[in-house]
Amino acid sequence: MSEITLPNCLSTETIDKISHTRSEPEWLIEKRIQALEVFDSLDLPESKYTKIKRFNPEILNPFAQGETSKVMFNIDKLDIFILQANTSIRYRVSKSLSNKIVLLPLADALKEYEELIREKIFSRFKFEKNKFTALHLALLNAGVFIYIPDDIELDQPIYIINEVQTENAGIFSHNLIIVGKNSRITIVEENHCCLGDEYAFASNVSEIFSGEGSYVNFISINNLAFGIYNYIERIFNPDKDSKINLISNWLGGKYTIARHEGILENPGSEFRDIQIAFAGGNQHFDLTSYAQHISPYTKSNVVMRGVAKDKARLVFYGLVDIEKDAHDSDSYLSEHAMLLNPGARANAIPSLQIKNANVRAGHGATVGQIDEEQIFYLMTRGLNESEARKAIVEGFLLPAFDEIRIDFVRERIQTMIHQKWDSQK
């Protein structure tokens, strides 16, 4: 990695410059300063299994602009998209959809929808959690605002494309998504990078509020380069009988720390979280899914499946918390990891906290090496060793793919996993 000298970005001068550039209200500036003030007192988001090395926030550049015309994604045929290349933004909503959706960069939305944003934003995201969350708020420099009125059903997905384009870039993107009653939408968020092993940091937080009877598909594909430190939070706050289908595919990044949270505080709300990971090289994925059942008749289903090869490490944390008033709740948690060679490591850590006896709750978790006898059997059927291993991995991930009920998403994720497999031969 080449040496680049940048001024220390952890200063009130940096916050003043970001806020001035974005013409932000005073209340947001105050929150930024609060986050900066607690940064030094907080710890990195580490655990027994995750130790973050060589993280250097001082040299990050939160003002890095990009080229929206040179992203690794074809947007020409999309009716609804917002593209963020570093901190540079381009977006489009076709005329036929302009009365059904508000899609704006967060900085622009603050000028038109300030009261609504102030009411919702950061209400579920807690910046005091760790150094990454504090840094995210202090240096917030990107993000998306999506508002869907009541009774809207969109056939086309809403695309959010994020691309890190320069070394030492610090990208801190916050999405605020508000979906009205009885509306149905699909959001596809793809995180890309055109770097190699160069150092950069990307954090992405989504707060999703959905109205009564709404249905949200949120699909995320994370294919960042191997030098990126990546922090993700997605927090779902549903109203009565509202459902989210959250699908994530983890492929890229040096360190990826991610937390998905479903806060089921209204009857009939549902949270489905499907996570598929493929880690290679020296990658480290630390993935958490947390389902909090507060009201009765709520449901959660968490499926976490991953494969690790080379010297990579996977850590799965599945947490289900059923509160004492959440009777007739239904939850299942599944965590399974496969290791393709002795140098790879994985940990599956399920946890159930049940405070009401009148519920259904279960879990399953396994970590194991790829079965050499299966490899031998497939080789006797005409496959070479690499083809046999690939077939076994596909079979192992199949239960997670079966949970993906959107054909184009399942096919795209399978294609990207095949590409990663082939690139690492």
Cα 202 to chain centroid distance, Å, stands at: 11
pTM of the predicted protein model: 0.93
One-letter identity of residue 36? L
Cα 146 to chain centroid distance, Å, stands at: 17
Distances (CA, A) of 333 to 96, 163, 270, 302, 321: 41, 32, 14, 5, 11
- The CA radius of gyration of the chain, in Å to the nearest whole number, is 21
Contacts of 215 (CB under 8 A, 6+ apart): 183, 184, 185, 242, 243, 244, 245
List, as one string, the DSSP characters of 111-127. Answer: HHSHHHHHHHTTSS--T
Query: In this structure, are residues 323 and 417 in contact, taking their beta carbons and an 8 Å threshold?
Result: no
Query: Which pLDDT tens digits describe the chain residue by residue (425 residues)?
Result: 334 344 577 889 999 999 999 999 999 999 999 999 999 999 999 999 999 999 999 899 999 999 998 887 788 888 899 999 999 999 999 998 989 999 999 999 999 999 999 999 999 999 999 999 999 999 999 999 999 999 999 988 999 999 999 999 999 999 999 999 999 999 999 998 888 889 999 999 999 999 999 999 999 999 898 999 999 999 999 999 999 999 999 999 999 999 999 999 999 999 999 999 999 999 999 999 999 999 999 999 999 999 999 999 999 999 999 999 999 999 999 999 999 999 999 999 999 999 999 999 999 999 999 988 888 888 888 888 888 888 888 888 888 787 777 787 788 888 888 877 776 54
Query: In this structure, are residues 269 and 244 in contact, taking their beta carbons and an 8 Å threshold?
Result: no
